[in-house]
Chain A
């Protein structure tokens, strides 16, 4: 794994040869504007909610159960 990662990083070094002086970065290929909509909760059927909770590997009383993530 380590060897593979090193080989990949070696490969991408090619980019160092390219002159990027004054070039702006592109994070997105298409010029789009920010799209906003009202932050309104969508009502879901109880059936769908139950289906979603059923998917969780561990659950209790209709809640998804996880390991403790904070300690006091």
Chain B
């Protein structure tokens, strides 16, 4: 049998339900894997070993006691599942740093809604994963502590900012993980690490207790081994939260129901602007091969035209810096955390630029103009979704880049995230799935974008592709 840490959520639940193994055994296999390889990968800032084993034992006691296990696992869809959480989510009693020196010793007294919901669904938090400090970046190189390495090649970056979460899933250190995306921070690391990353519609999942980056864009979401696991976690997380005024009260559909319905008759849009010359050739080739697979499975492919994604970089940069400068103002070092001089270089850059674009005399030229172009980008997508059901393109313009790559440009993150920024600006959901491997055996990802609240069809399309291609079965040798 496989080592238990390699299992998916579905498999792990099946095993526990049939008493093939205990929750403690599952937890110990994950912890053992972390002990063995995290020295090289460096995905975790905190591993909650004692706590996780204790909780696993408690779960086992419940399993022993409970007569109707079918019912138990139905009621608690993540019962006994070891989950890693990005260190930007508050966890009561567990250090929460946002990978920053300012919050290096911060221990929250409360759980983020996402964490609370995971626990209520039976999940066990196994540890907190690395990110670019305050989520500012696309590589984890901007973490104030250390850089995470890509499990597929230790000399490569995992992407970011949820790089620790993506690497922990790809390296089978956990069964599933939680990331957060402002623009690309779930999809891009998922692409570089060859796993599934879902960024839900803005507002579908509560932001309460997520250390804020840019509040009009931030969105928590699952990073998993399979599309089905992604649906299971989204089901747990989605919904209105009275602590987040922007969370949506729209009913949450059953994401698992008919996830295997197939894609017969679905109209897929291919935006020609997303295949620009800077996108690596191999990436374009693989996405085009994937399109043929979709076609074979009965989808209708239509070429469409969208706003040049490179414009979105500029809009995103201005809005995000502005919101960052406002959000980071609360870290005054008076009530908790350290003083402001502990902010790293990237945070300082963003605070300064954000303050500048919001200042009198520049507000109209920068911030207001960016907000207006944001309107145009939103309208552009609305128009496109009158013609097609979903849009498919590469997630990242490249495969995982070598360590050090982010140091070359102050705009590194924005340029890496060029293909995910337009949809994030419009608050749209998107999912990354692996669509093959490069000549150097690095994973490549494609993204499926849909209209607001279209998570269900996105998961169906992604599920069909993953089932057909089975790229997700390939594992890195570490």
Contact = CB atoms under 8 A, between A and B. Distances in A.
Interface of A: 1, 4-5, 7-9, 11-16, 18, 20, 23-30, 32, 34-35, 37, 48, 51-52, 55-58, 64, 66
B403 interface: no
Contacts of B336: 55-57
A19 to B, nearest CB: 9
Interface string B143-172: 000000000000000000000000000000
17 contacts: A1-B352, A7-B410, A12-B366, A15-B315, A15-B369, A16-B369, A18-B311, A20-B372, A23-B376, A29-B425, A29-B427, A30-B201, A30-B202, A30-B203, A32-B203, A32-B245, A51-B109
Nearest to B245: A35
B242 A30 contact: no
Given A11-B317, A29-B452, A32-B246, 12 more contacts: A5-B353, A5-B410, A7-B409, A8-B410, A15-B373, A18-B376, A20-B369, A26-B374, A29-B374, A29-B425, A30-B202, A57-B336
Interface in B312-336: 313-315, 317-318, 333-336
B248 A32 contact: yes
Nearest to A18: B373
Contacts of B333: 57
Which secondary structure dominates where chain A touches chain B? loop
B410 A26 contact: no
Contacts, number: 114
Contact of B375 (A9, A16, A26, A64): A26
Given A18-B373, A52-B109, A26 B378 contact: yes
B17 interface: no
A14 B348 CA distance: 24
Nearest to A57: B333
Interface string B367-401: 01111111110100000000000000000000000
B216 interface: yes
A42 B242 CA distance: 14
Contact of B371 (A18, A25, A32, A37): A25
B240 to A, nearest CB: 10
A35 B245 CA distance: 6
A35 to B, nearest CB: 4
A66 to B, nearest CB: 5
Interface string B240-253: 00100110100000
A25 B372 contact: yes
Contacts of B106: 55
B311 A14 contact: yes
A20 B349 contact: no
A50 to B, nearest CB: 10
Among A11, A12, A55, A57, max chain B CB count under 10 A is at A12
Contacts of A16: 369
B314 A15 contact: yes
Contacts of A9: 353, 356
B426 interface: yes
Most B CB contacts (10 A, CB to CB) among A37, A55, A64 go to A55
A4 B407 CA distance: 12
Nearest to A25: B371
A25 B310 contact: no
A27 B371 contact: yes
Contacts of A4: 349, 410
B157 to A, nearest CB: 20
4 tightest A-B CB contacts, nearest first: A29-B427, A25-B371, A4-B410, A55-B336
Contacts of B334: 56-58, 64, 66
Given A29-B425, A64-B334, A23 B348 contact: no
B411 interface: yes
Contacts of B203: 30, 32
A17 B311 CA distance: 10
A28 B201 CA distance: 12
Given A4-B349, A32-B246, A23 B310 contact: no
Contact of A20 (B317, B353, B376): B376
B109 A5 contact: no
A37 B371 CA distance: 29
Contacts of A51: 109
B477 interface: no
B374 to A, nearest CB: 4
B375 A25 contact: yes
A29 B378 contact: yes
A64 B335 CA distance: 7
A11 to B, nearest CB: 6
Contact of A11 (B107, B314, B349): B314
A15 B109 contact: no
